[in-house]
Amino acid sequence: MILWTSSLPAFVPFFLAAALVPFIGARARAVVMLLVPVAGALHLAGVESGTALKLSLLGFDATPYRVDDLSRLFGYLFHLAAFIGIVFSLHLRDKGQHVSALLYAGGALGAVFAGDLMTLFVFWEVLAISSVYLIWARGTERSRSAGMRYLVIQVFSGVLLLAGALLWYRQTGSLSFEYIGVESFAGALILLAFGIKCAFPLLHNWLTDAYPEATPTGTVFLSAFSTKVAVYALVRGFPGTEMLIYIGAVMACFPIFFAVIENDLRRVLTYSMINQIGYMVVGVGIGTELALNGTVSHVFTHVIYKALLLMSMGAVLHMTGRINGSDLGGLYKTMPWTTTFCIVGAASISAFPLFSGFISKSMVMSAALEGGHTIVWLMLLFAAAGVFHHAGIKIPFFAFYYKDCGLRPGEPPRNMLVGMGLAAFVCVFLGWFPSVLYAILPFDYEYHPYDATHVLAQLQLLFFSAAAFTWLKLSGIYPPELHSTNIDVEWTYRKLGPRLVEFIHRWVSAADQRLREIVLDQYRQVVYLLHRHYGPYGAMARTWPTGSMALWVAVLLAATLVLYYV
């Protein structure tokens, strides 16, 4: 049975465009790609909350498409992010990247509008498979290796989700994607699947490993969808789960130390991404209406300002071929627009008043205080100072101002500037008019970010953070930008993994050799007994033996088959 609605599932136009793009010219391709997110967002605006597509197939009741206030907000965000990313990538002649980006955006929309766990699983894997090309498309050995590791981990997350969904169905008789919790083993498996894609501590290295190796445009799309789908899934399935408060607090803090010493500026931004997702996870764990609104609004603002920062660094990489802080500097002279847009992104992620980060990050921190989580609030305060150091100051300072690296590139292609300009406009617009975002949040809760206490506290934090950076830099204590490799948790499995595989291979080889010796020995004994009793050809002339002789013949046949197939 199929119950249709008048609403077209949001992923369908993106998938259709992806099928069409390889067969049309550059101008038509640009028009189609730009129209898809615009038309999709306008269509979504006319869909009523509660709209759903329900299927009954093989005894399962599925809801592959469901619209409510929560999924609608993510739908708007992903259409906007897709549009900005497409504008930024229009100069590309690689149709594969365009197809991959469209499928990736469609997969993200399919996931957030999924009303059941099996549909979520399908789009969970679509996200993994469609996005890996954006990493491989860079064409380097590092990107190929990082992409393969990324794909394995993402698919493994999907396997955990599938296992958890099947156990959940066995336990509850329903696949509906609503509150799940961690009271059951199925819930724990699903949370682990979400945690991998959300980059929980110790599960985060796929992000810092793969995203910096993607193409300059690919990283923009990667930053917008996978982890944000995971945050959406946490909001849907695990609100108020207390352990997430502490997981999120750790996420907000530990990346700071890696980001400060990292030389690759895009990798700095991936650590910063984990830091910002930590705020979102804390909000999910607190679970109040204010906290969940803070989480969702911070997802919205974060996608835009993180895309802006990655676009600015992508423009630098595109024009100079360099991305390490030690190899850059002085670019403000010939890339003034890119520099300006980067500063807007830096101000937004640092939560300067009148920029978008301020109106969302403060909601989560206020929720932490209201919930009595004073230590967590202090950790988030430390994280806020840290992100100003490594993303608010370090990125624009070392890329554009620190020293004159001798490079004189011009501005990137016009479409890249337009993409950055759109993102910068959204960052400033939301900072000035937060009510526009607050009006579409899923929960009714009145919040005023421009309270005098909030503004003064944030300005003091930013002032003292800037003073600390200046003192550390002038005194020579601040870590220099060096060509180096930072050792993160990933090196545990990068080093131990091959050794473990080698150990298993040696053990299996030894066991295989011993088994062969045993079988061959038995084979020789059977042949010897047959030869002894019947001569070399006598056994073939006799009738089928009985008793113990039949057993030996069976052993002979079995041994022969084993040797043949092994």
Structural domain ending residue among the three candidates 193, 218, 238 = 238
User: Does a structural domain hold residue 496?
Assistant: no
Query: Are 472 and 450 in the same domain?
Result: yes
Tens-digit pLDDT profile for residues 300-335: 999 999 999 999 999 999 999 999 988 898 999 999
Query: Are 233 and 364 in the same domain?
Result: no
Structural domain ending residue among the three candidates 183, 205, 238 = 238
User: Does a structural domain hold residue 228?
Assistant: yes
Tens-digit pLDDT profile for residues 22-47: 999 989 999 999 999 999 999 999 98
Query: Are 214 and 266 in the same domain?
Result: no
User: Does a structural domain hold residue 258?
Assistant: yes
Helix axis angle, 218-237 relative to 185-198, nearest 10°?
A: 150
Tens-digit pLDDT profile for residues 108-119: 999 999 999 999
Q: With H, G, I as helix, E, B as strand and everything else as coil, classify residue 115.
A: coil
Residue 552's pLDDT is 53
User: Does a structural domain hold residue 98?
Assistant: yes
Query: Are 199 and 132 in the same domain?
Result: yes
User: Does a structural domain hold residue 490?
Assistant: no
Residue 471's pLDDT is 82
Residue 498's pLDDT is 74
Residue 534's pLDDT is 58
Query: Are 254 and 230 in the same domain?
Result: no
- For each successive 10 residues of the chain (566 residues), what is the average pLDDT? 60 95 92 95 90 77 88 96 96 93 96 94 96 95 93 95 95 92 94 96 91 95 95 96 96 91 92 95 95 96 96 95 90 94 95 93 92 94 89 90 87 96 97 94 88 87 83 74 68 72 79 77 69 55 46 59 51
Residue 56's pLDDT is 76
Residue 352's pLDDT is 92
Query: Are 224 and 254 in the same domain?
Result: no
Tokens standing for residue 28: 């038509």
Residue 4's pLDDT is 42
133, 48 contact by CB (below 8 A): no
**Alpha helices for 287-404 (secondary structure H):** 289-320, 336-349, 356-370, 374-387, 394-396
Query: Are 269 and 173 in the same domain?
Result: no
User: Does a structural domain hold residue 83?
Assistant: yes
Query: Are 340 and 371 in the same domain?
Result: yes
- Domain with 110 in it: 1-238
Residue 218's pLDDT is 95
Please provide residue 171's backbone torsions phi and psi, each rounded to the nearest 5 degrees: -80, -40
- SS3 of 151-219: the string is HHHHHHHHHHHHHHHHHHHHHHCCCECCCCCCCCHHHHHHHHHHHHHHCCCCCCHHHHHHHHHCCCCHH
pTM of the model: 0.86
**Of 340, 363, 332, the residue nearest 430 (C-alpha):** 363
Residue 484's pLDDT is 65
DSSP state of 327: G
Query: Are 462 and 525 in the same domain?
Result: no
Q: Which residues are within 8 A (CB) of 30 and not within 5 positions of it... i.e. 6 or more apart?
A: 90
Tell me the chain's radius of gyration from C-alpha atoms.
29
Query: Are 266 and 212 in the same domain?
Result: no
Helix axis angle, 117-136 relative to 185-198, nearest 10°?
A: 30
User: Does a structural domain hold residue 321?
Assistant: yes
Give me the number of domains the chain comprises. 3
Residue 5's pLDDT is 46
Residue 1's pLDDT is 37
